[in-house]
Chain A
């Protein structure tokens, strides 16, 4: 199971490579079950149950959630993982 470190904005400001990180965004869709989305977040990112549920609820209520930020190559890898579980996910450039 892939585990990643969180890259909160404040901790990356002094790292040039991650100054403008790429975000992995999960979008709401009417088909995937909430419990399934939570399970996938835990499996792909190694999130705790609480954190996975928090992101799932953000997707459900706000339509999208940034679930990971960091280097582009890794972001693309995570999007591929999420697509393999049939979640709607995209990468986008983080704001400066």
Chain B
């Protein structure tokens, strides 16, 4: 699998193995509204002060809806880009506009947060390198989180240069 950019305005990856292409296609669907742990992490309180109940209520009423819209928009951009996956001899190829990099970073973060919450992955597990064996859905989630982190690392490098 190889990452590349085309004249600075398109980003791509080629020779993506089918398993990894499949994991990427799951990105938009990993967000779950009914997962309390994920919801709490995606929409955290703006304060730890117990006397700031008013701020919490304002945040829920005015800021969270904006964040919901922003996060949904990022997932929709990625979902549309993922439709561009093309099968070729060495695996799959995907290209998307470089201007979508921010949406990709955001959607990948949402996906990693949701996976970690769904599988109760703690800090130690998340800081370890990817699993050497895939024997359970939990192992697969760890692989997916680490793969998405590698994608994010690449996108950060792209944005850092831009």
Write the residues of chain A forming the contact surface with B, with a CB cutoff of 8 angstroms: 29-33, 35-36, 39, 76, 79-80, 83-86, 88-93
Contact = CB atoms under 8 A, between A and B. Distances in A.
B63 A93 contact: no
Q: Is the interface of A mostly helix, strand, loop or mixed?
A: mixed
Contacts of A76: 46, 55
Contact of A30 (B48, B70, B109, B123): B123
A31 B112 contact: yes
B13 interface: no
B134 interface: no
A76 B59 CA distance: 10
The 8 closest A-B pairs by CB, nearest first: A30-B123, A30-B126, A86-B109, A35-B156, A79-B46, A31-B113, A90-B47, A39-B156
Given A36-B152, A86-B106, A31 B126 contact: yes
B122 interface: yes
Interface of B: 41-49, 55, 63, 66-67, 70, 105-106, 109-110, 112-113, 116, 121-123, 126-127, 149, 152-153, 156-157, 159-160
A30 B122 contact: yes
A40 B44 CA distance: 17
B149 A83 contact: no
B116 A90 contact: no
Contacts, number: 67
Given A33-B149, A36-B152, A86-B110, A91 B42 contact: no
Contacts of A90: 44-48
A32 B42 CA distance: 12
Contacts of B112: 31
B47 A86 contact: no
Contacts of B43: 83
A22 B110 CA distance: 28
Given A33-B156, A90-B44, 4 more contacts: A31-B113, A35-B160, A83-B46, A93-B49
A84 B73 CA distance: 12
Contacts of A86: 42, 106, 109-110, 113
Contacts of A35: 153, 156-157, 160
- Which of A31, A35, A79 is the most central at the interface, judged by chain B CB atoms within 10 Å of its CB? A31
